[in-house]
Amino acid sequence: MGPGMKRNWLIWIPLAAFAFIGGLFLYGLMQPKDDYVRSGLIGKPLPSFELPAAVEGIPGLSSADFADGKPRMLNVFASWCLPCKAEAPFLEQIKERGVEIHAIAIRDKPEDVAAFLAEHGNPFVRIGADADMLVQLKLGSSGVPETYLIDGKGNIIHQHIGDIRGEHVAPLVEKLKAAK
Amino acid sequence: MIGRAFLVGLLVAYAPLAAQEGPPPPLANVQLKDPAQEERAVALMENLRCIQCQGQSIHDSDAPIAAAMRHEVRERVGAGQSDAEIEQWLKGRYGDWISFSPPVKGIGLLLWAMPLLLLGLAMLLARKRFRGSKS
């Protein structure tokens, strides 16, 4: 092999680099779009928090209200959130299947929460008011509605992002009932 | 039937944290008293992604969740936590994505090493070329 042969080999480097980068772009473009930011706390204990009542007549919520051996659901919602209205009947169905649901109301006012519950029903046992979103941040939650499944030991076992629809009711209830 | 169409529209949506009235947490828009600490907090905030707006840093974003994140950062800087501790707290919740700096591991390592790799390759090519011209 003379030096000329070597140089011939080198001229392919830019094309190879271009093909590699082009391939990366193509791969990136073909990935399904997923803007959801999932919580990194799945499988970890629920962070400790203490929230005042979000509405008169329903007690507030603290992390101590979990971890008593009973698996529960934690719904993060807001009266100003449209998908939260859409999921209200399905939360009611979950409650009817014997699941206790606690909730956190994000950036809400007592009168707005009261109006929301009056219109869409109240499936919640406790509702904490997270007026400045600091507890939402602690949970690794990035929007409303979001629903967490908490096992009897107080660990987060699942995060459901977005509204709960009819087809999610049974799997979520089963997952929670399988937890201890 | 308008009702059903409306409902289907609702189901598609996953509301990001929309703007609502109500006071932001105390340290969201108030500087720390110690200028050195405030400088550190701002440097951190410029490198943290707002969860709602995604492309903007929490330093630039006016979203409520960004305000909550700024409060969290300032409070932790004020409490004497290190930059790494604060970033780790957020990464533990939202993943490496929350920081604008790609992680120095896995595919991110390749990214950080790329300038060195390219420089090495360029030097190799240049050396061959200069050698060739001498002879």
> Which chain B residue has its CA at the smallest distance from A164's CA?
B11
Q: Which residue has the tokens 């969290």?
A: B72
Has residue A5 been placed in a domain? yes
Has residue B108 been placed in a domain? no
Has residue B92 been placed in a domain? yes
Which is it for the CA torsion A132, A138, A140, A145, positive or negative?
negative
Instruction: Using an 8 Å CB-CB cutoff, list chain B residues near A109.
Output: 22
Has residue A122 been placed in a domain? yes
- Whether A109 and A146 map to the same domain: the answer is yes
- Whether A21 and A108 map to the same domain: the answer is no
Has residue B58 been placed in a domain? yes
The C-alpha angle with vertex B39 and arms to B25 and B20, in degrees rounded to 5, equals 25
Instruction: Using an 8 Å CB-CB cutoff, list chain B residues near A107.
Output: 17, 20, 22, 64
Is the ipTM higher than 0.85? The answer is: no
* CB contact at 8 A, A41 and A156: yes
Residues of B with CB under 8 A from a CB of A: 7, 10-11, 13-18, 20, 22-25, 28, 51-52, 54, 64-65, 67-69, 71-72, 91-95, 97, 125, 128, 132
Chain segment B27-73, per-residue pLDDT in tens: 999 999 999 999 999 999 999 999 888 789 999 999 999 999 999 99
Q: Domain of A93: which CATH number?
A: 3.40.30.10
**Which structural domain range is residue B76 located in?**
25-102
Has residue A43 been placed in a domain? no
For residue A173, count other CB atoms closer than 10 A to its CB.
Answer: 18
Chain segment A49-85, per-residue pLDDT in tens: 999 999 999 999 999 999 899 999 999 999 999 999 9
Which is it for the CA torsion A23, A25, A31, A37, positive or negative?
positive
Has residue B20 been placed in a domain? no
Q: Domain of B73: which CATH number?
A: 1.10.8.640
Q: How many domains does chain B have?
A: 1
Q: How many domains does chain A have?
A: 2
Q: How far apart are CA B17 and CA B24, in angstroms?
A: 13
- Whether A81 and A11 map to the same domain: the answer is no
Q: Which residues contact A135 (CB under 8 A, 6 or more apart)?
A: A49, A51, A104, A128
